[in-house]
Amino acid sequence: QNIHLVARWLGRLEKKLEQLGEGSHRDLRVFVSAEPAPSPDGHIIPQGILQNSIKVTSEAPTGMQANLHKALDNFSQDTLEMCSQEKEFRSILFALCYFHAVVAERRKFGPQGWNRSYPFSTGDLTISASVLYNYLQASSKVPYDDLRYLVGEIMYGGHITDDWDRRLCRTYLEEFIKPEMLEGELCLAPGFPLPGNMDYNGYHQYIDDVLPPESPHLYGLHPNAEIGFLTQRSERLLRTLLELQPRDCSAGPGAMGTQEEMVQALLEEMLEKLTEEFSLAELLARVEERTPFAVVALQECERMNGLTAEMRRSLAELELGLKGELTMTSDMEALQNSLFLGAVPESWLRRSYPSTASLGSWFADLLARIGELEAWTRDFSLPSTLWLGGFFNPQSILTAVMQSTARKNKWPLDKMRLQCDVTKKSREDFASAPREGAYIHGLFMEGARWDAQAGTITEARLKELTPAMPVVFLRAVPDDKQDTQGVYPCPLYKTRQRGPTYVWTFNLKSKENPSKWVLAGVALLLQP
């Protein structure tokens, strides 16, 4: 609905309530229900109404046990008895309740849980149960494929906008709803078998008695996922506390000095370390042949010039402002606050690459990227190994690998794929680039690790959240020559935020069923 109309109506409601507050019946009550606003713009309920109200909130349950009980609470003993195929209906209904609890609570693990946040509701579960009932009443055989499709692609899948999240939803249903569930051979989680035929209260009792303690294992995730999301939550809390502290208090004995002094020292250091911009005219004159790789190098230099020019301009402007030679503007104050809090300023991020690093790490990373570009553009020969995370646009270098192979072999570009072979070596072991394709370094794995000796994905070690990958050899091959057996299609993202930072898909060898890695949220990252 139109938020402005609602705001106007709430204003009228506030006045009406004031009038009714005098001389009306003593039992008169007004009930208003509201949902949390997605942004501060939606905070439109007048203060007068809020102050005079008794507020009752309905908090979503936390933890698998509470979520599973709540999912089961949507049904009753009558529900369990209404279907002619009672055994099948009860087993699949319990599996659906577990599925609903998993997808709802997996959100807490952030991007490793779901790339994006989705509004799954109890309505999705109850409609899925109705679909299950109708299908079982109409068929003597259980239509597993149809049920998985309707629940995964329509009822729940209707909310999902990300292809990798759709794959995750589909994989859960393939693991939970299959013929083995009626043979007593299905575990919904390690140590939690699908229960046999029970009555309604028996299922609730079974959850209390048998469900293992809360842990990422219940969702198919590695225990590291919990460390990751708790760390991020702590960082957010500390950042908020830092933003709340007073800025302008003078320094006491041994303190760091005022905000201005700290910012002045930092901006002087940054201006000193920033190198000159790349001369694109000189670089163009140095290029002998505009190969796909040379074009990428030139584009990257151009993007880097845009970022460093904005950094120099804004830092020099702020320096004049701090000296009193220029009037401080809101942009200059925002830059000053960012530098003081150790955050990357907004105007730089707009011209930059996605990053979750603090300002210090981000600036060191920027200087390393400039160094790589300077080394590459001296003679434009392909470096022995490419730092994929050092590009503004990593897709461009991967496309260049395919373009150069297509030109050399006269292959059509749309009939080619990137073949990903993980070597057993690190960056230092390579002296020259391959004859075809490229060696890539600077990849990290989240959710699992790479076993270099076995040459496959394997379980992560505890507390190693994003172990580094060995150097990867990328080469372009025709569609029909690509390895598709015994591989896990692994998404590559620029940062741990995942979602919109998606870059490419690499097929990585796996001895385990790929569904294990899908549920574990395994992905490659360009930044640890």
Spatial CA neighbour of 122 closest among 186, 174, 67: 67
pLDDT tens column, 471-500: 999 999 888 777 778 999 999 999 999 999
Residue spans of the domains in the chain: they are 3-52, 64-223, 258-381, 383-527
Tokens of 200: 């309604």
Model pTM score: 0.87
- The model's confidence at residue 325, banded by pLDDT at 50, 70 and 90, is confident
Predicted confidence at residue 484, as pLDDT, reads 76
| Average pLDDT rounded to a whole number, residues 23-52 | 79
Judge whether residue 253 has pLDDT over 80: no
pLDDT tens column, 331-355: 999 999 899 888 999 999 999 999 9
Judge whether residue 47 has pLDDT over 90: no
Longest dimension (CA), the chain: 90
Judge whether residue 249 has pLDDT over 70: no
Average pLDDT in the chain: 89
| Average pLDDT rounded to a whole number, residues 43-72 | 85
Rounded (10°) angle between helices 359-376 and 292-322: 140
> Residue 191 region, left (φ>0) first, then alpha (ψ -120 to 50), else beta?
left
CA distance 165 to 162: 5
Instruction: State whether the Cα torsion 85-86-88-94 is positive or negative.
Output: positive
Predicted confidence at residue 454, as pLDDT, reads 93
Judge whether residue 443 has pLDDT over 90: yes
Predicted confidence at residue 254, as pLDDT, reads 46
| Average pLDDT rounded to a whole number, residues 230-258 | 70
Tokens 């020019």, residue located: 309
Q: In the chain, pLDDT over 90 holds for what percent of residues?
A: 62
- CATH class of the domain comprising 64-223: mainly alpha
Q: What homologous superfamily does CATH list for 383-527?
A: Dynein motor C sequence, barrel region (3.10.490.20)
**For residues 459 and 406, is the Cβ–Cβ distance under 8 A?**
no
Predicted confidence at residue 257, as pLDDT, reads 54
pLDDT tens column, 80-110: 999 889 899 999 999 999 999 999 999 999 9
pLDDT tens column, 387-420: 999 999 999 999 999 999 888 888 888 888 899 9
CA distance 288 to 333: 46
Question: 474 φ, ψ to 5°?
Answer: -110, 130
Q: Which fold has domain 258-381?
A: Substrate Binding Domain Of Dnak; Chain:A; Domain 2 (1.20.1270)
